[in-house]
Amino acid sequence: MRVVRVGIRQVLIAVVMIAAMQVSARADASWTTPFPAFRIAGNIYYVGSADLGSYLIVTPKGDILINSSFEANVPLIEKSMEQLGFHFSDVKILLISHAHNDHCAGAAEVIKLTGAKYFVMDGDVPVVESGGKADFAYGAKSENWYPPAHVDRVLHDGDTVSLGETVLTAHKTAGHTKGTTTWALDEPGVAEVDAGRPLHVVIVGSPNVNPGYKLVDNKNYPAIAADYAQGFRVLKALPCDIFLAPDDYKGYIAEREQAFEDELKRQTAGAPGSR
């Protein structure tokens, strides 16, 4: 396995993606700070803020946007697209990595402005359509709510999303949310292609156990530990050449899995503060 890095900016954005995957439901000013848009590889572009990743996939039939982030980030995403020479109105499909407000609160606004169709993994559909109120961990607190958005297509593990000649596969890697989605696609348009072989791109939904997550006897999410374990099995099996992180893909997944297993062991043993 080989991790491809496309210039210094891709290395910088590695830090951005890790920060985005490790957040809880609290706010941070840097999440709405503009960041220069740039091409990552092939037809994949970064259009997010300084600390929240949004990704644009450009095709001849229109564009796919992954993660709308907060409502305040939508104008930033639009401006980033324009700086790259693209049009916000060309966004035809909106996807998310998971249904926390820092990744999807701007969805309703994106849909309103572009007419994009919203595709969401089954476990996260009730959350985005309730504006965050159905979230198992954060739904009880109004500061975590956001404008609800209608889902046009309910995704299931292994479903594909196609536009133009681009095909993304939705891998359900639940636990962080009930519908956390890891997106995978093959990128044929990168200079580092080996003997004509397209490179495997992976955008991880989030394998993190947030502070306060209850892995044992969770009445709101009884299958949380089993879902995390299954998610790690999926992530470890995915081929990956392009992964936006400062470490190798396998190393990152192994470190996150160990963190999950350590927390599960602590809670199973009934350590103080585990309930």
- pLDDT class of 220 with cuts at 50, 70, 90: very high
What percent of the chain shows pLDDT beyond 70? 84
Specify the CATH architecture of the domain 7-268: 4-Layer Sandwich (3.60)
Contact call for residues 36 and 184 (beta carbons, < 8 A): no
Give the pLDDT confidence of 71-118 residue by residue, as tens digits.
Answer: 999 999 999 999 999 999 999 999 999 999 999 999 999 999 999 999
- What pLDDT shows up at residue 245? 60
Per-residue pLDDT, 28: 72
Confidence of residue 271 (pLDDT cuts 50, 70, 90): low
67-84: pLDDT as tens digits:
999 999 999 999 999 999
Alpha-carbon Rg for the chain, nearest whole angstrom, is 18
CA distances from 256 to 13, 228, 229 (A): 19, 10, 11
Q: What average pLDDT does the segment 153-161 reach?
A: 98
Q: What is the maximum alpha-carbon separation in the chain?
A: 56
